[in-house]
């Protein structure tokens, strides 16, 4: 997928493992392919596994205070959230790598979503319901799991990510899953990389 104008690629990693992470190996592969096709692209990497704050009372109060009315403490409470939103707004292509932990996404990735899903900035409410404001972007999601089959009734990760990205206006989403690795081993990761090569 080459873009006429050099895009910004935003990479989000969420695995608690730095070495030996299958989801990170898949995002490595995706970024390498995308960077080769878009050599002038800027790549922004955000490792949410390093830790993000959770939504708090101060954050909520600041978020629902009009920007021009926020005091210094409220502005400070939203500083990281503003940075994460700006990264997402600037990106033309988003690559998200995630393991499945206990049938869902890691808490660190959920914290990132909570920091970027903001009414009036990344979505808005209308008379007919919420509308995402981050249109015109492409997302790739690489998922690794030990036992959960992606797309099965016990997978609460892929469906949630597809929904929340769509909620923000990102509807062009491709999923690549190296799942049930405890049963299928390294050959599933290799097959997923081949699937990436065929699509990206």
Q: Provide the CATH number for the domain around residue 143.
A: 3.40.50.360
Q: Is residue 1 part of a domain?
A: no
Q: Which of 1-10, 12-21, 142-151 has the lowest mean pLDDT?
A: 1-10
pLDDT in tens, 12-46: 999 999 999 999 999 999 999 999 998 999 999 99
Of 5 and 173, the structure prediction assigns the larger pLDDT to 173
Selection from 36, 37, 41, 34 nearest residue 5 by Cα: 41
List residues forming the annotated binding site. 15, 21-23
Q: Is residue 81 part of a domain?
A: yes
Determine how β-strand 123-126 pairs with β-strand 129-132.
antiparallel
Q: Is residue 2 part of a domain?
A: no
Q: Is residue 158 part of a domain?
A: yes
Model confidence at 5, pLDDT cuts 50, 70, 90, reads: low
Number of domains in the chain: 1
pLDDT (mean) for 148-162: 98
3-state secondary structure the chain: CCCCCCCEEEEEECCCCCCCCHHHHHHHHHHHHHHHHCCCCEEEEEEHHHCCCCCCHHHHHHHCCCHHHCCHHHHHHCHHHHHHHHHHHHCCEEEEEEECECCECCHHHHHHHHHHCCECCCEEEECCEEEECCCCCEEEEEEECCCCCCCCCCCCCHHHHHHHHHHCCCCEEEEEEECCHHHHCHHHHHHHHHHHHHHC
pLDDT (mean) for 176-182: 96
Tokens of 160: 């949630």
pTM: 0.94
pLDDT (mean) for 147-160: 97
Q: Is residue 99 part of a domain?
A: yes
Order of strands across the sheet that contains 8-13: 42-47, 8-13, 93-99, 138-144, 172-178
Tokens of 12: 């989000």
List residues forming the annotated binding site for FMN. 15, 21-23
- Show the domain range for 158: 8-199
């Amino acid at each position: 997928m080459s873009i006429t104008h050099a895009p910004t690629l935003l990479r989000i990693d969420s695995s608690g493992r730095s070495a030996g992470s299958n989801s990170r190996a898949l995002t490595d592969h995706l970024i390498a392919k995308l960077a080769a096709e878009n050599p002038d692209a800027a790549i922004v990497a955000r490792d949410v596994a390093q830790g993000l704050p959770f939504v708090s009372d101060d954050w909520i109060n600041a978020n629902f205070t009009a920007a021009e009315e926020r005091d210094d403490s409220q502005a400070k409470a939203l500083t990281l959230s503003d940075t994460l939103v700006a990264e997402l707004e600037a990106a033309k292509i988003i690559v998200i790598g995630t393991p499945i932990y206990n049938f869902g996404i890691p808490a660190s990735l959920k914290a990132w979503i909570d920091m970027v899903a903001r009414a009036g900035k990344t979505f808005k409410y209308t008379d007919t319901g919420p509308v995402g404001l981050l249109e015109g972007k492409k997302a790739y999601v690489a998922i690794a799991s030990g036992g959960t089959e992606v797309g099965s009734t016990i997978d609460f990760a892929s469906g949630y990510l597809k929904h929340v990205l769509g909620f923000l206006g990102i509807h062009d989403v491709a999923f690549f899953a190296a799942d049930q690795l405890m049963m299928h081993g390294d050959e599933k990761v290799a097959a997923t990389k081949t699937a990436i090569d065929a699509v990206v």
